[in-house]
Amino acid sequence: MIATLIHNSRSYQIDLSKPLDLSIALKGDDSGINAWYLPPAKILPHEDGDFVGSVKMGAAVNFNTIWFNPHAHITHTECVGHITEHVYSINGQLQRFFFLAEVITVAPEKLGNDFVISGKQLAHVLKDKKREAVILRTLPNTREKRNRKYSHTNPPYLSEEAAVLLRKMGVQHLLVDLPSVDKENDQGKLLAHKAFWDIHGEIRMQATITELIYVPNPIRDGTYFLNLQLAPMENDASPSRPIIYKIVQEEEN
């Protein structure tokens, strides 16, 4: 199924029958992804007296209750409300869902005891491309990212300089295969978050950061259309499902 999208006076044809899913699903046990020192998510039948919400246990329906944190247990998208005193909801801030996106692959550089993605690296890869969204795949890229336990591992992160570069390039939506764009233990500085959202300047209310994605190796670097799907939750972050589509044809109008 071929669809035509109009973006900045250009027509793009994408094949809707071939979506590429970048999300990591929530699992209700220790086999799922995890970060930020939390116990595993739980998906369990609701119990109320003699009622147990499981067909296997005699109920008419399966009726599960889910305990999880979007920042720790699943691919999620967050807005500036993640770091502001005022409560902003991702459900209220993100009002568009299709974006021209660039998939890039970067090997974080060793810096002391850390591995960091620098502005120089991003500038080299992105050059002068103008994209609404950047999808960052880090190396090494193994399937183990789908169930990695990130707590106390000091994962790679973005330098403040890298976040500033993306902001100045006009990138509105940043997607990373990391638990955070900032260092795991940075004493609450959150330099990359603050720089990307321009928290000390003109705050970019519509900008988003999506974390804990997984970009399979067969997906090549290049330009795609991104459909950033959210669960409609009034919270700073929501579980999300970023789907990208290859561009079949591009024409100038």
Q: What is the pLDDT of residue 72?
A: 98
Residue 4 has pLDDT above 80, yes or no: yes
Residue range 160-171: mean pLDDT, rounded = 98
pLDDT band at 1 (very low <50, low <70, confident <90, very high): confident
pLDDT bucket at 253, cuts 50 / 70 / 90: low
Q: What is the pLDDT of residues 76-121, one digit of tens each?
A: 999 999 999 998 999 999 999 999 999 999 999 999 999 999 999 9
Chain-wide mean pLDDT for the chain?
96
CATH superfamily of 2-24+75-252: Putative cyclase (3.50.30.50)
Radius of gyration of the chain (CA): 19
The whole-number pLDDT of residue 249 equals 85
Sign for the CA dihedral angle at 225, 80, 169, 157 comes to negative
Give the global pTM.
Answer: 0.96
Domain ranges of the chain: 2-24+75-252, 25-69
User: CA–CA separation, 249 vs 16, rounded Å?
Assistant: 13
Q: Give the amino acid at 54.
A: S
pLDDT for 252: 74
Render pLDDT for 189-227 as a digit per residue (tens, 0 to 9).
999 999 999 999 999 999 999 999 999 999 999 999 999
Euclidean distance between the first and the last CA atom of the chain, given in angstroms as a whole number: 22
How do 10-15 and 2-7 pair as beta strands? Answer: antiparallel
Task: Output the CA–CA distances (angstroms, integers) from residue 19 to 2, 119, 134, 219, in the order listed.
Answer: 12, 30, 17, 11
